[in-house]
Amino acid sequence: MTMLVLVGWIAAPHPGLGLGGVLRTAGVLWLVGHHVAVQVQGAGRIGMLPLGLVLLPGTLLFWAGRAVAGGQRANGGGRVLGAALAVAAPYSVIAGVIAIVSRSELVRASFPQAILAGFAVAFVAAWLGAARALTPWAKVGTLMSERVRAILLGAAGSLAVLAAAGMLTTAVALANHVHQFGAVYDRLSPGLVGTGLLLLAQLAYLPNAVLWAIAYMVGPGFAVGAGTIVAPTGSVLGQIPRFPLLAALPTGLHDSVAGWLAALLLSLPYLAGVTGGLLIVRHVPHMTVDGAAIRGFCSGAACGVILGLLAAFAGGPLGDGRLSAVGPSAWQVTVVATLELGIAAAVSAGAGHWWYRRRRAARDPGQPGSVRDAGAGGTGAAVPTADSVASVITRSTRTTPGRLTGHDEDDEGGHVIYLDRWAEDQAAGHPPKRPRGPSALP
């Protein structure tokens, strides 16, 4: 952060900003990378911060967690928790100190938020790093129950589909507004160094744009100022900041997009839910239909909660004026996404499991319960098949000659099977020697 601020300061020197101001600005940007809001004089609170910037400290904290876990003597979960706390506790103190020393008349970072955000980012990243140091990713799932593993797998599949759709929607929107994109650059005239720094800022805000696109597809949309809305049903916008990524937004009052395009965008969350439900069936094929549907709804609900949490971090105020409300509504995204993804995943998981059982019964009619007796009395007893007879013969080598039973002699529910002991002689061309008596009966 210090190097980036130094480059910008050298390229566009400011008479009121000395080297101390450069270091304070770098400290503020470091806190912004941990999603700490700042108070700017004359503008207000800036809380819509770039999510992509969190990847920088998150990656370093991940490796720190791995290094600390490798030097501890404890085993199992205590070792992972100890490594995460050993990194997060001093890291939060450092964040608080930087929030204090980076204050100036122009910018002030929130001290309580610096403590909490620093601890949260460090704890999560270090915990993941410590867990990775002790257990490979392929074996992490074995530490969970089958039910939790299936729900998380379905939620991850739904999130992957929505993330891919959000990236594609963002790219198409920018491609359709390439002229407006270039016009914003012309008005800003950032120069060579400024263009590079502006490009880095846009890359840092790109995850925010993807989450805005997902909120658009889910239905609630997002706002770029108080009293504005951008949704598939239409958009109402006023003046927007001169930031290149915002050039993809429509200006003024616009009707909804084309009917077929709106239907396609609104169907993507249901497709994501269907994908999550089918992944659950593929992961756990042996369960009841209602159990599959319940797990499907839980995976969709988990995905909706995650989307709502991410939507809360993807937006925020850009001052105390008209731009005090920017981004999607967290609770609206949570409720709508939970219903859409949960119901779609429940239906697809239940239907997929029913279809799987149907195909399995058609391929292997010898499976228990695949064929039922529909005779008089409706007892529902299973009809003996060729496979079941063969299994009974294999298990009954110690029964009396000429008679095999699938159960004990005193079991009234067992069926009796009679064998032709002279079948081999008849196949070899020898005349059958059938004694007279009951054994000669067909």
pLDDT tens-place string over residues 99-148: 999 998 889 999 999 999 999 999 999 999 998 888 777 676 666 778 88
- Residue 16: alpha-carbon gap to chain centroid: 47
Using pLDDT thresholds of 50, 70 and 90, give the confidence band for residue 420: low
Tokens of 89: 């506790």
Average pLDDT, the chain: 81
CA–CA dist 381, 371 (Å, integer): 9
The alpha carbon torsion through 112, 51, 140, 69 (nearest 10 deg) reads: -50
pLDDT at 344: 95
Nearest to 113 by CA among 125, 95, 140, 86: 95
Instruction: Pick the more confident residue, 37 or 250.
Output: 37
Dist. CA 266–CA 222, nearest whole Å: 15
How would residue 419 be classed by pLDDT, with cut points 50, 70 and 90? low
Considering only CA atoms, which of 299, 288, 366 is closest in space to residue 148?
299
Q: Rounded to two decimals, what is the model's pTM?
A: 0.77
Higher pLDDT, 325 or 160: 160
pLDDT of residue 378: 40
Q: What is the residue type of 439? A: S
- What confidence score (pLDDT) does residue 407 get? 46
CB 394 within 8 A of CB 386: no
Residue 106 DSSP one-character state: S
Q: Which of 4-8, 224-228, 264-268, 434-438 has the lowest mean pLDDT?
A: 434-438
Handedness of CA 30, 33, 34, 40 (dihedral sign): positive
Q: Per residue in 43-77, pLDDT tens?
A: 888 888 899 999 999 999 999 999 998 766 656 66
CA distance linking residue 325 with residue 265, whole number of Å: 24
The pLDDT of residue 120 is 95
Q: Residue 370: what pLDDT?
A: 46
Measured in whole angstroms, the distance separating CA 369 from the mean position of its chain's CA atoms is 36
Nearest Cα to Cα of residue 32 among 98, 87, 91, 85: 98
**What's the mean pLDDT in 166-180?**
89
Per DSSP, the three-state class of 415 is coil
Band of pLDDT at residue 389, cut at 50, 70 and 90: very low
Residue with more model confidence, 333 or 77: 333
Whether the predicted pLDDT of 212 surpasses 70: yes
**Dihedral of alpha carbons 188, 191, 194, 195, sign:** positive
Confidence of residue 381 (pLDDT cuts 50, 70, 90): very low
Q: What pLDDT was estimated at residue 211?
A: 95
